[in-house]
């Protein structure tokens, strides 16, 4: 879902138009607390990437996405709690995608917690409405529409 929404990865750093953060690959925000550590753990030179003195390979972009996904899934699992194992794949994937997009825009993913409470109560339509009314949906309209449709359908 994330790769479908981003299209080909950006192999060189760009300034995110919404957050202003230095971003690379599939929306990897280089300016987070963990950004430097994640990039250097992959054997990449953070400073050269940050200052556009080098670019990623597609393999590097995929590795950064995998690192981001570990964080995104952890956040979703933490917010959903014990009910995560009961989620169907389309809803779980939509939540991970939404959390990834919101985090890459330097927005607060915790604003989805009321919608998460509705998902836990199996009120998928209400959760979808809550996600759809978020600030993120005004910025990433097509991505949001896909995620909202998956959540609305429910499990």
Q: pLDDT at residue 112 above 90?
A: no
Q: pLDDT at residue 118 above 80?
A: yes
Q: pLDDT at residue 6 above 80?
A: no
Q: How far apart are the first and last CA of the chain?
A: 17
DSSP, res 83: G
Task: Please give the full DSSP string across 105-130, using - where no structure is assigned.
Answer: TT--GGGGHHHHHHHHTT-HHHHHHH
The 10s digit of each residue's pLDDT in 84-108 is 999 999 999 999 999 888 877 667 7
**Helices 124-132, 141-153: crossing angle, 10 deg rounding:** 170
Average per-residue pLDDT in the chain? Answer: 90
pLDDT of the residue at 23: 87
* Angle 54-55-57 from CA coordinates, rounded to 5°: 135
Q: Domains (ranges, CATH) in the chain?
A: 2-153 (1.10.530.40)
The arrangement of strands across the sheet holding 22-25 comes to 10-15, 22-25, 28-29
Distance, CA of 111 to CA of 116 (rounded, Å)? 9
Which of 30, 38, 27 lies closest to 105 in space, CA to CA? Answer: 27
pLDDT of the residue at 64: 94
């Amino acid at each position: 879902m994330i790769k479908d929404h981003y299209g080909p990865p950006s192999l060189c750093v760009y300034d995110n138009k919404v957050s202003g953060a230095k971003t690379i690959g599939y929306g990897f925000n280089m300016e987070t607390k963990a950004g430097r550590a994640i990039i250097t753990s992959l054997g990449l030179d953070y400073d050269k990437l940050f200052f556009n003195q080098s670019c990623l390979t597609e393999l590097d972009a995929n590795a950064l996405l995998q690192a981001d996904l570990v964080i995104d899934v952890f956040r979703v699992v933490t917010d959903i709690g014990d009910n995560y194992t009961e989620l169907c794949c389309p809803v779980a994937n939509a939540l991970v995608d939404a959390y990834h997009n919101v985090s890459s825009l330097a927005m607060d993913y915790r604003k989805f917690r009321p919608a998460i409470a509705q998902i836990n109560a199996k009120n998928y339509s209400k959760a979808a409405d809550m996600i759809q009314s978020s600030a993120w949906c005004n910025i990433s309209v097509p991505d949001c529409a896909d995620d909202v449709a998956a959540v609305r359908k429910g499990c």
